[in-house]
Amino acid sequence: MSEIVVLTGFEPFADFQVNPSWEAAKTFDDKEIGSFKVKSFQIPLAYKEIKPTITRIIGAQKPAVIISLGQSYRSLISLEKVAINFADLTESTILYNCETRPKDDTLEPNAPAAYFTTLPIRKILNKLRQNNIPAEISYTAGTFGCNQIFFYTMHKIRSDRLDMRAGFMHIPCLPSQAAQLQKARKGKIPSMNLDTTTKAVEIAIKATLGNVKK
């Protein structure tokens, strides 16, 4: 088995100049956790680019673990349980950076309706709470790019019968993003500082590696 952990984060979108998922992911690039090396990759938030991008990464890195990160407007770390075979932005005010607005789209016509994470999310949840980091298990990753990369990752692993653990974590916005929206009078959102977010990601990696057989 490869001793590589892949972390992915998305590029900025909407009116933001940063995306906390990439800011967190890139801090781990080339770092070693135990005997494993972390490799971080930025994912384009473009509807038709997400699948080939994650497919290339999996093929090139052949990691033991893949954890994808995405920005949310939630107040806590959300450990996603399920990815659904569906994309829809009909009611959303936010689009992909390519300006695509999918409507009732099936991501993979011949794939199951959903896949479950293979990360030990209950273990991760307990570890996060023990470290005073607010967290939850979530049962909806949405119908946007976050769910999309989660689903394509799990589909690739299942289709190719790969020995990898994988899943998705939603993380809160950064304080600078919350302040940006307030200044622009576009509402209020919760936030989490980057140090806390990166600590949460490290805990998730270590908890997962504890369940990986070499």
Q: How does pLDDT run across 11-49, given as a tens digit for each residue?
A: 999 999 999 999 999 999 999 999 999 999 999 999 999
Q: How far apart are CA 91 and CA 165, in angstroms?
A: 33
In CATH, what is the architecture of 4-209? 3-Layer(aba) Sandwich (3.40)
- Is 155 annotated as catalytic? no
Residue 79 near residue 119 (C-beta atoms within 8 A): yes
pTM for the whole structure = 0.96
Which residue of the set 146, 155, 173, 202 is catalytic?
Answer: 146
- Is 98 annotated as catalytic? no
Which residue of the set 23, 80, 155, 173 is catalytic?
Answer: 80
Amino acid at 119: L
- Both tokens assigned to 196: 């806390």
Which residue of the set 32, 98, 155, 170 is catalytic?
Answer: 170
Does residue 59 or residue 211 have the better pLDDT?
A: 59
- pLDDT given for residue 184 in this prediction: 86
In this prediction, residue 165 has a pLDDT band, given cuts at 50, 70 and 90, of very high
Average pLDDT of the chain?
Answer: 96
Q: How far apart are CA 31 and CA 82, in angstroms?
A: 28
Residue length of the chain: 214
- Is 170 annotated as catalytic? yes
Q: Region 108-128: what's the mean pLDDT?
A: 98
